[in-house]
Structure 1
Amino acid sequence: MLKPTESVNELENRAADAVRALLKNVPVIRIEKLEPTPPSYKFDLLATLSLDGHERLLVCEVKSVGQPRHVRAALLELQRAAGGFDPPAIPVFIAPYLSPEAQALCREFDVGFVDLVGNARIAFDTVFIERQVDVKPAVVQRSLKSIFKPKSAQVLRVLLRDPARAWKVADLAQVSDVSLGHVSNVRGELVDREWAEVTDDGLRLSQPDGLLDAWREAYEAPHGERAEFYTTLHGQSLEAALRDVLQAGPDAARAILASFSAAHWLAPYGRVPAQYFYADAGGLAALRTALKLSTVRSGANVVVTVPKDYGLFQDAVESAPGIFCTSPVQTYLDLAVAGERGAEAADHLRQELLAWRT
């Protein structure tokens, strides 16, 4: 992505500098020439190299966007341009930042890549250069997190219920309870990252696992007030009380099982001593009464979060009569950030309930 004040020429200059810096440390390579190409060319930079006395050419395409959808289209053009030389030139794709998915595409097309944060891979003849850095530009991190914010998450949870289903924008907006404009923005992000595709029937997820992986990496637990209590109820008496009080509908006081407690009903893995809930204000009051909750300084065995975002209640599931839980996707995300034991439970739940075939 270009900086607001960065021109195309400035980006190409930075790209050329990155290529020079990468190649200058290879003893067998001498850079004879590296310069921009005329507008009539199908690529942006041409590098002439001397490798042990033999001339080799790099043809480089420079793009301001490194999203997989844009990368894929550029790689095809770059391959054709490289094949126009005799012998064929070495194609190299350059962008300010290339995600692991974009890098994988370059490998799939056998095209070298360089990004301006330090990731690179160029292989030809006896030369093999590969560098990986654990850095994401701030603008990329903001863009990635934006797709997982509460309103966008409502759309994603609907899509992940049945990844093979195709959705018209209007239908998806209605079911997820967000605006048409917001659904369109989410659709654009998903398609650009190649997590979804637009078919004649509508939008459908093409890479649900890739989407869920990215969501897990960027996930932040819902913001809200967290309260801890103690209940003397356990076993059948606790279960009976839960069936009486749990509700997910918007016309009732909402209280649903969450995290380890939801996982116990969805995909049992191991018991934990505490019960976890999401609730609105009315649901919290109902829980306090039904479970006979008391406040304690230590030894709490009930944790209730009153989230600012009520969208997760829309995706609740009734895992057994009267037992309402966060959806498998929401439960998976909450478990994934709940420490080592939570990560193990998350992996188990994903294998049991989120192993999709698309």
Structure 2
Amino acid sequence: MGFDDLTPDTLLERGLTVLRDLLGSGWQVTVQPPTREAKGGNPLDALVEVKADGDSVLTQLMIDLKMSVSARLVEEQLLPKWSLLQQVNHYTNLVVVAPWISPRVQELLREYGIGYIDLTRNASLRVSRPAITIYTQGASRSPRSRTAKSSKATLAGLKAGRLVRLLADVTPPYRATELAEAAELSLPYVSRLLDTLEDQLLIRRDGRVITSVDWPQLLRVRADHYRLLRHNPYTRMIAPNGVEAVFKALRALPEESRRQIVLTGSYAARTVAPLAVGGQLMFYHPAGSPRLPDEIGDELRLLRVDKGGDVLLLRAHDPVVFERTADHNGIRRVALSQLAVDCLSGPGRMPAEGQAVLGYMEKNISLWQLDRLPS
């Protein structure tokens, strides 16, 4: 599905095709000619009449065509338009049509009661008369060509992970220059990523100063661009003497060795938000360490296996996973922000455990969030 050559006319045509398919053959969807007042307005808007065959009751949809939709655009442009429309005409509904709409923006549009349709069949529309209720899910990621160049930074990659950790772990205010220095990233990159985050309403700024961070949503969005077991190569092990024997062996190691083996995953989540029992025991170890996974396994009384395994030794994708770790009964555990991302991006029931971790974090911010950037 090519989006690169879309024009407003073809976007409208393809968007209405999606709408007609979702409504079915018993409905009429007709584009109305622009009124005299509208001819001098925004040429991307269109007025569409929808009614069922044989029914005199109809509804009008004001179509707002957008080649891209950000959370910031929803708040600054679409919401004021929708509020005005509700004041002057209760029988017309605002519907955004775009090539693709992200899950975050879809959620905002539904929250505000604004309809939407994209060309991957993400759609939401609620009309009381005639009764229309549509909610479908299409692509969760943009199907644009991977070769298409974009100047916008995304939340994928190591550098984004470092900046996300800082934004979540430290209470604002702070500036891009301070974040770049603390995360050891280039200022141009940090500035581009902050622009992206502001477009998604994940941060808010007053001039150049970041004044607030929606860190729960930021961690969720980061997890959408990250996969715990894909980005961290792992070695499978079994604990023949049980989990408690592994913890006992870990506590007995010299301090230097013990600090390089950090707990994450289900067992780490259970330290703050018990949700279930069982699951795999997961530890990070440094990628550049001279100690091989088999050596760590020997120290922890583990046996290597090719399949299955109740213990995973993860080779850390980035040293950031070892930053701001916490001690829990003599075991080092990743920081809560890292733990939330790891669980949300993990297999099985781990995403539910990640949501439980976020709930704990929201209720206990003072216990984990720093009031200033680390030097």
Q: Counterpart of 1:120?
A: 124
Q: Which amino acid aligns with 2:314?
A: T
Q: Counterpart of 1:223?
A: 231
Is the Cα–Cα contact under 8 Å of residues 155 and 221 in structure 2 kept in the other structure? Answer: no
State the aligned residue count: 348
Q: Counterpart of 1:307?
A: 316
Q: Which amino acid aligns with 2:315?
A: V
Given the superposition, is the C-alpha separation of residues 296 and 171 from structure 1 closer, same or farther in structure 2, using an over 3 Å criterion?
Answer: same
Give the Cα separation in 2 of the matches to 1:140 and 1:202.
33
Deviations 1:155-194 (A, max 9, x none): 00111113x4232001111111211122122212212222
Which secondary structure state, in structure 2, belongs to the residue aligned with residue 135 of structure 1?
coil
Determine whether 1:99 maps to 2:105: no
- 1:132 is displaced (CA, Å) by 1.0
Determine whether 1:256 maps to 2:262: yes
Determine whether 1:132 maps to 2:144: no
Is the Cα–Cα contact under 8 Å of residues 284 and 304 in structure 1 kept in the other structure? Answer: no
Q: Which amino acid aligns with 2:252?
A: A
Given the superposition, is the C-alpha separation of residues 234 and 137 from structure 1 closer, same or farther in structure 2, using an over 3 Å criterion?
Answer: closer
Which secondary structure state, in structure 2, belongs to the residue aligned with residue 284 of structure 1?
coil
Give the Cα separation in 2 of the matches to 1:332 and 1:159.
14
Determine whether 1:15 maps to 2:19: no
Q: Counterpart of 1:4?
A: 4
Deviations 1:203-246 (A, max 9, x none): 25543222223333443126354345689975655313153423
Normalising by structure 2, report the TM-score.
0.73
Given the superposition, is the C-alpha separation of residues 34 and 200 from structure 1 closer, same or farther in structure 2, using an over 3 Å criterion?
Answer: same
Given the superposition, is the C-alpha separation of residues 245 and 183 from structure 1 closer, same or farther in structure 2, using an over 3 Å criterion?
Answer: same
| Greater relative CO (CA pairs within 8 A, separation 6+) | 2
Is the Cα–Cα contact under 8 Å of residues 267 and 348 in structure 1 kept in the other structure? Answer: yes
Give the Cα separation in 2 of the matches to 1:206 and 1:127.
39
Given the superposition, is the C-alpha separation of residues 262 and 83 from structure 1 closer, same or farther in structure 2, using an over 3 Å criterion?
Answer: closer
Determine whether 1:352 maps to 2:360: yes
Given the superposition, is the C-alpha separation of residues 357 and 197 from structure 1 closer, same or farther in structure 2, using an over 3 Å criterion?
Answer: farther
Q: Counterpart of 2:158?
A: 150
Is the Cα–Cα contact under 8 Å of residues 153 and 192 in structure 2 kept in the other structure? Answer: no
| Identity across matched positions, percent | 18
Is the Cα–Cα contact under 8 Å of residues 256 and 279 in structure 1 kept in the other structure? Answer: no
Correspondences of 1:1-358 after superposition (within 5 Å): 3-22=3-22, 25-27=25-27, 30-31=28-29, 33-35=31-33, 40-42=40-42, 44-48=45-49, 52-53=55-56, 56-76=59-79, 78-79=81-82, 82=85, 89-118=92-121, 119-139=123-143, 146-162=154-170, 164-200=171-207, 202-221=209-228, 223-227=231-235, 236=248, 238-241=250-253, 243-247=255-259, 254-260=260-266, 262-263=268-269, 274=281, 276-282=283-289, 284=291, 288=295, 292=299, 296-298=303-305, 303-313=312-322, 315-319=323-327, 324-340=332-348, 342-343=350-351, 345-355=353-363
* Range moving further from structure 2, 6-15 or 333-342: 333-342
Given the superposition, is the C-alpha separation of residues 139 and 205 from structure 1 closer, same or farther in structure 2, using an over 3 Å criterion?
Answer: farther
Is the Cα–Cα contact under 8 Å of residues 230 and 293 in structure 1 kept in the other structure? Answer: no
Is the Cα–Cα contact under 8 Å of residues 228 and 302 in structure 1 kept in the other structure? Answer: yes
Give the Cα separation in 2 of the matches to 1:173 and 1:223.
23
Is the Cα–Cα contact under 8 Å of residues 166 and 201 in structure 1 kept in the other structure? Answer: no
